[in-house]
Amino acid sequence: MTAFKPSLPDALRRIRKARGLSQEAFSDVSSRTYMSALERDLKSPTLNKLAELCEVMEIHPLTLVTLAYAGRDPLNADQLLAQVQRELNEIVAASKIENP
């Protein structure tokens, strides 16, 4: 079995289409050319740009990133989110120890 390769461009395209949005719908935050380049993996967005794009799609940026890493399998998303929750808990617990 081949390992799944995370794909932000695929996730972006899937969410955009699921929301019924054209690339032009992002004109307040991006050009159609830029959206096309993102979806073809020719450019990489900053976190600020991701937040703006997600605002247009009315989703949280973590939804986009989760879809990029989990692919089409909801079970992958559940496992991924459980891992993130464990890691966040570890980081918060460690930071409380270091900075009481």
Q: Give a three-class secondary structure readout of the chain.
A: CCCCCCCHHHHHHHHHHHCCCCHHHHCCCCCHHHHHHHHCCCCCCCHHHHHHHHHHHCCCHHHHHHHHHHCCCHHHHHHHHHHHHHHHHHHHHHHHHHCC
Q: How confident is the model at residue 1 (pLDDT cuts 50, 70, 90)?
A: very low
Complete domains list, the chain, with CATH: 8-98 (1.10.260.40)
Q: Cβ distance 32 to 23 under 8 Å?
A: yes
List, for residues 18-63, the tens digit of each pLDDT value.
Answer: 999 999 999 999 999 999 999 999 999 999 999 999 999 999 999 9
Report field, pTM of the whole predicted structure over 0.85: no
